[in-house]
Amino acid sequence: MNLRRQLLLVSLLTLVLPWAGCQFIQETETALRDGQQQMLAGTTQAIAESLSQHAAEFAFDAASNGHLPADQIYGHPIAGVPLVDGYINDWSTDPSALRNLRGVDGDNRFIVAVSENYAWLFVEVRDKTLVYTPTGYEKIAAADRPAADQVELLSPGSEGERLRFLFAAEAPGPLPVWRVDGSNLSPETRIRAYWQDTAAGYQLEARIPLSLLGDRLGIAVYNTARPDRAAVRSANYGGPVPGHFITSSALLRELAASYVQPGQRLIITDHTGWRLAQAGSLGGNTALAQTEVAPGWLRLAYDSLLEPGSEARLAEPDVSGREQQPYISAALSGRGSSNWFRSADTGRAIIAVARPVVHNGSVVGSVILQQSTGEILSLTNEALARLMSFTLLATIVVALSLLGYATWLSLRIRRLSDAAELALERGTDVISLPSSNASDEIGDLSRSFSNVLRQLGSYNAYLRTLASKLSHEMRTPLTIVTSSLDNLEQEQQSQAAAAYTARARDGARRLQKILAAMSEANRIEELVEQLERESFDLDALLAAATAAYEDAYPERMFHYASPGHALPYQGAPELLVQMLDKLIANAVDFSAAGERIDLDLRVGEDHVEINISNPGPPLPEHLAPRLFDSMVTVRGGDTAEHLGLGLYIARVICEGHGGTIRARNTDNGVCFTVRLPTTAGT
C-alpha cells in the first residue's frame, strides 16, 4: 500500500470525534425524552385520579349481556349540520370509519355520527336487484306485506320499551320512516331520511333526534331479490338486545379541555377503548418545522443515530372511534403504559402515556396524554446538523491536506529513488541528490544515498583501473619468473623437480593469458576514446560475422534474422565485431552442443537493436546491475579464460558508440540486447 493510501486511512480516524459527539447527542435525546415521559406520566396519573370522580360519564356496565365491542355502535362527533341527501361527502368524518354490518351480506357498511341534538345515520348497501315497497305499504296487513329492501333501526326507549324504526323506500329520494309497533306501522315525522340509488346498490342517510334513542342501538339491513321471497338480514348486533350506543361526553370534553396544555393531546376512553372525549392538538410546532432535518444523506444519518419508535401515524386517534393501541390496551387492563412514535419521513416524534381510570376497584376507562417532542428534536436536530456539517467539512479538509502532503512526500521519495537508480545505471559519481539540503528524514536519507554513491563510484573507478594497474605491475615480475623457468629447465633436474617446474610453467602461462585479457581491455578502452568512425553496412557486417561463427563453433547452430535491406551505419566495424565476439563467446559457453544461437537486427525510428539469444540457465537476479562491470562473472571455478572482462569489454564498445547494453532472462535462456543510436556517438 503506497504512502498516500496509508495517510488517507489515517485521516479516517478523525471520524472518531464526530462519532463520540453523535453518541453524546443520542444519549442526550434519550435522557430528555425520558424526562418528558416521566412528566407526562405524572400529569396523566393526576388526570386519571380526578376523572375517577365522574365514573357515571364512562357508562360502565359490568354486565354487558354477552355483547362484544363489535356489537356496540359509536357515535362519531362531527362539526356542522350535514345535508340529508344520501351522500356522506359533507360529513367531517374519515370515509374509512365506515364499519361492516355482520351477517349474510358482508359488503354492507354503516356509520353513525352525533352533532348537536341529532344522530346521523349513513348506510351503504350493495344490492344488484333493488326491490322497493309498494305504495300504501303501511296499510297492508302484516301477514300479506311483500318482502322489500329495507333498513331497520332498533333502540330501547327511555322506559325500556323496544323501539323499531323502518326505512322503506317506494322510490329514490326522500322517504317516509315508519315506527313499528307490533304489526302496525305509524309514520315517524321527526326522522328525516333520503334514499339514493347507486351503481352497486343504494345509500341511506337519515337524521334522528337523540331524544328518540336510548343508550343502546342496533342496525339491520333486509335484502331480497323478489317481493315473494323472504329478505336476508344483516345486522350489527348478535342478540335481541342491541349493544351500547356510545357517544362522547360533554362533561368529559369540558374537563379534557381544562386539563390539556398547549402542544398536548388528551384522549379519554371507556373501559372497551371507545373514545369519549378528545382535546388539544399536537400540530403547530414552528420550532420543529424550522429545524427539521433535510432529506438525503443527513436524514439517513439522523435516522441511524436516534432510537427508532413506532410510526407516528399510529399515535393519531383511531378513525373507528375505538383506541386499540397496545399501550392503551395495557392501561385498560389496569397497567399504566407508555410508548413513543417517530415518523420516518419527517422525524416528527410523539410521546404517549396511558393510565387507567379506576372507580371502586374497577377500570372504567383510560386517559391518554400525548405530546410532541418538538423541543427535544429541535435541540437534537440543530446540534446533529451542525455536528454533521462540521464533521463533513473537517473530514474533507483533513483528508485533502493529508492527501496533498502524502502526494508531495511520495513525489520527493520517488524523485530520490529515480535519481539513485539513474546514478547506479549510468555508473556516474553523483554526489548531490534531490532533497539533499532538506533538514527532515528524507534529507538525511538523500545525504546517506549521496555518500553511498560516492563510495560506490570510487570503488567502480578502482575496478576500472585495476586491470591496467595489474597488467603494468605484473608484467615485469612475470617476465622474470618465465626467464627463470627457462633457465631452470636447462639444468639437470630430478623427476619431482621437473614436475614442479612444469606446474610453474603452466601457472605462468595462465598469468600471461590474464595479462593479455587485461591488456585487451585497456586497449579497447583506449581505442574507444580515440574512436574513428567510418561508414559501413551493419546488416552485411552481422551476416559475415554469423558465417564466421558457424565455422569457429561448428558444434553450435547460428541463425541471423536480417531486416532484408542494407543498413548504412557510422561507427568502428572492428570494435563492433569484437563486441559481437565477446557476446557470442558468452552465448557459446552457456549453451550446449547442438543448440541454436539466434542473432537478429531490428530497426527503429532513431536506433537499431542487435539481439543475441541463447538457451541456457537464467541470470542470477542479484548480479543483473553488475553483470557488465569489470572482473564480474557468473561462472564457477578459477580459470583465466573467464576473468569477467568479456562483457565489460562489450559494454565499453557499446557505450563508446553512444548505446546501451542489457541482459534479460527469457523463457528458455538469456537474451543480450545492444541498442545503438542511428548515428554512432550521439
| Confidence check: pLDDT of 640 > 50 | no
pLDDT of residue 496: 83
List Cβ neighbours of 365 (8 Å cut-off, separation of 6 or more).
51, 58, 60, 268, 269, 270, 271, 276, 332, 356, 357
540 pLDDT above the threshold of 70: yes
User: DSSP letter string over 469-496?
Assistant: HHHHHHHHHHHHHHHHHHHHHHS---HH
Q: Residue 371 is part of a domain; what is its CATH number?
A: 3.30.450.20
Higher pLDDT, 310 or 325: 325
Higher-confidence position of 551 and 438? 551
Q: How far apart are CA 109 and CA 455, in angstroms?
A: 104
Distances (CA, A) of 476 to 470, 471, 521, 582, 621: 11, 9, 19, 28, 40
Q: How confident is the model at residue 285 (pLDDT cuts 50, 70, 90)?
A: very low
Query: What's the burial of 116, exposed, middle or buried (CB within 10 Å: 0-12/13-18/19+)?
Result: exposed
Which stretch of DSSP H or E encloses residue 674? strand 669-677
176 lies in some domain: yes
Indicate whether 110 pLDDT > 60: yes
**Do 238 and 267 have their domain in common?**
no
Task: Find the range with the poorest average confidence among 106-110, 339-343, 543-547.
Answer: 339-343
- pTM (two decimals): 0.56
Q: What pLDDT is stored for residue 495 in this prediction?
A: 81
Domain count, the chain: 3
In the listed set 212, 243, 274, which residue is the last one of a domain according to the structure?
A: 243
Q: What percentage of residues in the chain have a pLDDT greater than 90?
A: 38
d(CA 37, CA 4): 51
- pLDDT over 80 (residue 529): no
Residues 14 and 87 in one domain: no
- Is 342 part of any domain? yes
Quick: pLDDT tens for 120-149.
999 999 998 999 999 888 888 888 899 999
My answer on whether 283 and 235 are in the same domain is no
Q: Who contacts 649 (Cβ-Cβ below 8 Å, separation ≥6)?
A: 520, 521, 524, 578, 579, 582
d(CA 173, CA 283): 41
Note whether 144 and 188 are same-domain residues. Answer: yes
Which residue type is seen at 60?
F
* Shared domain check, 217 and 314: no
Nearest to 78 by CA among 119, 41, 38: 119
Given a contact cutoff of 8 angstroms between Cβ atoms, the answer to whether 146 and 220 are in contact is no
Does residue 277 lie within any of the structural domains? yes
Pairing of strands 264-270, 275-280: antiparallel
pLDDT tens digits, one per residue of 541-572: 999 999 999 999 999 999 999 998 999 999 88
pLDDT single digits (tens) 141-185? 888 899 999 999 998 865 667 889 999 999 999 999 999 988 899
State the helix-helix crossing angle for 538-552 and 573-589, rounded to 10 degrees.
40
Residue 143, in any domain of the structure: yes
Tens digits of residue pLDDT in 70-102: 788 999 999 889 999 999 999 999 989 999 988
Confidence grade of residue 464 (pLDDT, cut at 50, 70, 90):
low
189-210: average pLDDT: 95
pLDDT at position 606: 87
The predicted structure's pLDDT at residue 68 = 74
Q: Give the residue from 464, 471, 480 showing the smallest Cα distance to 516.
A: 471
Which pLDDT score is estimated for 284?
Answer: 47
Q: Could you tell me if residue 358 is inside a domain?
A: yes
- Which of the two residues, 338 and 403, has the higher pLDDT score? 338
The residue that leads in pLDDT, 100 or 505, is: 100
Residues 6+ away with beta carbon under 8 Å from 276:
57, 58, 246, 248, 249, 252, 268, 269, 270, 365
Listed in order, strand segments (DSSP E) in 311-416 are 337-342, 349-359, 362-372
Q: Environment class of residue 71 by beta-carbon count within 10 Å: exposed (0-12), middle (13-18) or buried (19+)?
A: buried
Grid cell of 12 as nine digits: 479516517
160 and 137 in a common domain: yes
Q: What is the pLDDT of residue 21?
A: 66
DSSP state of 679: B
Q: Which three cell numbers stand for residue 607?
A: 536506433
Q: β-strands 349-359, 337-342: how paired?
A: antiparallel
Model confidence at 484, pLDDT cuts 50, 70, 90, reads confident
Helix (H, G, I), strand (E, B) or coil at 368: strand
Within this chain, do residues 191 and 299 fall inside the same structural domain, yes or no? no
**DSSP symbols for 211-249:** GG--SB-EEEEEE-SSTTSPPEEEES-SSSS--BEEE--
Check whether residue 665 and residue 594 sit in a common domain: yes
Cβ atoms within 10 Å, residue 451: 11
532/511 Cα distance (integer angstroms):
32
In a 13 Å sphere around the CA of 200, the CA atoms on its Cβ side amount to 8
Decide if pLDDT at 49 tops 50: yes
Residue 252 buriedness (CB in 10 A; 0-12 / 13-18 / 19+): buried
Order of strands, edge to edge, in the sheet holding 177-181? Answer: 102-103, 232-235, 218-223, 150-156, 162-168, 177-181, 184-187
Question: Quick one: 92 and 221 in the same domain?
Answer: yes
Give, for 536, the enclosing helix (H) or strand (E). Answer: strand 534-537
Q: What is the CATH number of the domain that holds 138?
A: 2.60.40.1190
Residues 32 and 54 in one domain: yes
CA distance 109 to 95: 11
Same domain, 29 and 161: no
Residue corresponding to grid cell 594497474 = 469
User: Where among 383, 414, 449 does a domain terminate?
Assistant: 383
Residue 656: predicted pLDDT = 86
- The single residue listed with the C-alpha cell 579497447 is 524
pLDDT at residue 435 greater than cutoff 60:
yes
Q: Is residue 517 part of a domain?
A: no
Q: Give the domain CATH number at 649.
A: 3.30.565.10
Question: Can you tell me the distance from the alpha carbon of 516 to that of 561, in angstroms, rounded to the nearest whole number?
Answer: 34
Please answer whether residues 230 and 224 qualify as being in contact, where contact means their C-beta atoms are separated by less than 8 angstroms.
yes
CA-to-CA distance for 680 and 4, rounded, in angstroms?
A: 44
Query: Could you tell me the residue range of the domain that residue 304 belongs to?
Result: 10-60+248-383
Helix (H) or strand (E) holding 647: helix 646-656
Which grid cell is 664? Answer: 534479460
Q: What is the mean pLDDT of the chain?
A: 82
| Residue 306 pLDDT exceeds 70 | no
Mean pLDDT of 394-422: 79
Same structural domain for residues 137 and 221? yes
Residue range 589-606, pLDDT digits in tens: 889 999 999 999 999 888
C-alpha cell at position 20:
463520540
Residue 170: CA count within 13 A, CB half-sphere: 10
For residues 234-251, average pLDDT: 84
Write out the three cell numbers for 503: 606446474
Residue 1, in any domain of the structure: no
Give alpha helix (H) positions in 553-590: 573-589
**Which residue did the predictor score with more confidence, 21 or 112?**
112
Q: Which of 331, 348, 383 is the last residue of a domain?
A: 383
* Higher per-residue confidence, 64 vs 330: 330
Residues 108 and 234 sit within 8 Å (Cβ to Cβ): yes
Whether residue 364 is contained in a domain is answered as yes
